[in-house]
Structure 1
């Protein structure tokens, strides 16, 4: 294996890393153990993305990586989870844990259950105290700030609300067993800490995404039931509340123009639960009002924001709103004004390269067959850079149609007329 050309070795690592999930990361770590050459070549693939949450072990690992002279330069992306242990009020969790232990072991093993419950609740109480201390004593902020400042190549930050893997190993080892209702995904106290650390460390982000995972996880939190306690999947992935997403978006600075951390953004993604965007309209609107400061933003992905695209973004100053936008991906978005929709694309038709629409609707009742009309109107303009403009009204990997050839005047028939 020592005589394998570097090009071939790199192709192997790229193939293993291509899924970019937990399994591929584990395979990459194993691949690095083959020999010294593989270890060196695999390092950029393994340490490109660092999963992070505000847990003791996670922060310790982040600190260790930030102090390494080589690895600290390889980190370009932080994947941040807001998972935490829910505080117990009035002993409710104690009773729930005891009931599950008794149901598993039966009444004949009540003493064994009592001892196991005591150990579990003691470990849980210690963990909650440590968690509270990290959130309120500014220790987490200090550790994150120091680490972020050491990652000289850090340019991407994603917030995952509902990730079912990040933190799972640490919690599994701390508790030995975990019941679904003990897990909470909340941004209220956690996300502002991460954003403040990015600001203090003077990180110039190029990519930022916030995603809410509102479905059941594929394999939530590994095997957290060595004694036979089966956690409920629907409880492990708690339903995201309006307050959760509101707090996430409220953690943004009020003025992007005064914050170097956001002015350098080139890619922004807001992935909300399907059909839930209207509830978060005001907090999302605040972000979009500040996007005028992001002159370099070239890629925008939005999911589930009904009635977000207001006239403020399509008025006379549309050329000033996202002047360098090249990529636009909208899912489950509703345009309230047809004229504003046309105004936006008229201002950006000379630079847009890729447009993807999935279940994008128009609320304007005054326009019959809006997609047919929109395509016919947009064909009159000069689309200098457009490569694809796909429109899908059904879920699936294959789009229903691509109107880019029609916009480039390569075909005569309006694909939206069918």
Structure 2
């Protein structure tokens, strides 16, 4: 095995671990034990992305990785979770744990572990922040990780094994995900360390994927909201005059789901301004994703996209954005600037101001040469309420067909509605004719289905009334690492 070339070792690794699941990672950990060469080859996959959150255990592991002469060379991306424990009344929280129905001896043991673990987290968190030790540890790690050039920020399962093992139980009230403290700390550390990013991802949606055997963080979904507007603004301010240095070389800028549904109008404006400030520092973006999800009035293109953005998109290859409104000429002028480089375009709920529509926009695009375009899809841009069905328009734009896909889509919608209306009329007529029979059947007896429905309803009500305390699980997953 010592004689195998690195190229062949990489092929073996691709076969053994085709994805980033727990099973694949366990296989690679075993593969590392075969030889030193195998260990080095597997390390490139195992340590390419490292999870970080502001806790003593996580920061000490980050320090160890950054100081390791071999492992530190493999780190390319930091997956940062803005989790932070919220200081509260420990007795009230323990009462919530006690409210869970369980065997008394097991419950007392669980509460003791929970109390000790939570107090320890609060104590460590305060000590780390008191003298700026957390900022110093992150800064030093970023300074000595030679190949780290990507930051991914957002809700994740980072820290789940650590928290699950320490607390054992939870009430969903211990943690915050708003990033008020943690996000500015990360940005300040990047500025202090002179980090030069090539990829940046910010996702404040509070959506979690439940891995097998792990229930602690998904249980928080109903309690935790995403990043706050002030956290984003404070983070950008923390960069100071180092914004261009940190973001100047960014090629991939992704804000795939920035949820502002709970923001006020002013908070939305502030958050968008902060994101646009980051964009202003990016000079050569080739992958751009920005989806600002909000309730209320739809934002205009000029409100979502900074005015200087078109000037900086001469090399844009991938565009993924939406939830805005614009005129036909605004969309044409904006996307048309990148027609020679664009390969993939996904637009979600981009509404065209009347009297124009997307057919007008597509006909304008047909006057340009999209030489590299492979996929151009519109999701919900026909005014429908779902993005489940997309309209592919690349063939029409590239003049490979003269059939307008928007007109075809609208025709299909009208036809389907016509059929549905006809079926509704037919069913209404049938119900009128058989109303007497239906009335007799309903009054004569209660079916077994009704009994089971009532039983299910009672069970559901009992479950809903049960305390929302959840048991933490200390199993492992792809992202819990530290």
Residue 62 of structure 2 is matched in structure 1 by 62
Partner of 1:264: 249
TM-score by length of 2: 0.73
Give the C-alpha shift of residue 346 in structure 1: 2.4
Give, in angstroms, the shift of residue 314 of structure 1.
8.2
Deviation per CA, 1:188-218: give whole Å up to 9, x if none: 0111111111111101001111113433531
Shift of 1:388: 2.2
Aligned to 1:303: 291
In structure 1, the partner of 2:274 is 286
Rg larger in 1 or in 2? 2
Using the alignment, how far apart are the partners of 1:313 and 1:204 within structure 2?
23
C-alpha separation between the residues in 1 aligned to 2:140 and 2:84? 22
Instruction: Report the alpha carbon displacement of residue 406 of structure 1 after superposing the two structures with TM.
Output: 2.5
Q: What SS class does the counterpart of residue 356 from structure 1 fall into? A: strand
For structure 1, the 5+ residue unaligned runs are: 224-230
- CA deviation digits over 1:57-88, x for unaligned, max 9? 11111111111112112111000011232321
Question: CA separation of 1:149/1:314 partners in 2, compared to 1, >3 Å: closer, same or farther?
Answer: closer
Q: 1:262 to 1:221 in 2, by over 3 A?
A: farther
Name 2:342's counterpart in structure 1: 352
With over 3 angstroms needed to count, the CA separation of the structure-2 counterparts of 1:391 and 1:378, relative to structure 1, is same
Structure 1 residues 219 and 41: CA distance shift in structure 2, 3 A: closer
Following superposition, the deviation at residue 134 of structure 1 comes to 1.7
Give, in whole Å, the separation in 1 of the partners of 2:283 and 2:330. Answer: 21
1:342 to 329, 332, 337: 332
Separation in 2, partners of 1:407, 1:344: 16
CA contact (8 A) 2:286 2:315 kept: yes
Within 2, Cα distance between the matches of 1:84 and 1:318? 34
With the length of structure 1 as denominator, give the TM-score of the two structures.
0.83
Question: Are residues 31 and 124 of structure 1, via their aligned partners in 2, closer, same or farther at CA, if it must alter by over 3 Å?
Answer: same
Cα distance in 1 for partners of 2:46, 2:202 equals 23
Deviation at 1:136, TM superposition (A): 3.9
Report the CA distance between 1:153 and its aligned residue: 0.6
Distance in 2, Cα, partners of 1:24 & 1:136: 40
Aligned-pair Cα RMSD in Å = 3.1
CA contact under 8 A between 1:318 and 1:343: conserved in structure 2? no
Is 1:159 aligned to residue 153 of structure 2?
Answer: yes
Structure 2 CA distance for aligned equivalents of residues 257 and 324 of structure 1: 24
- By relative contact order (CA 8 Å, sep 6+), the higher-ranking structure is 2
2:316 aligned with 1:329: no
Aligned pair 1:104/2:78, yes or no?
A: no
1:364 to 343, 353, 368: 353
Cα gap change, 1:190 to 1:295, in 2 (>3 Å): same
After TM superposition, give the deviation of residue 371 of structure 1 in Å. 1.8
- Distance in 2 (CA, whole Å) between partners of 1:297 and 1:135 is 35
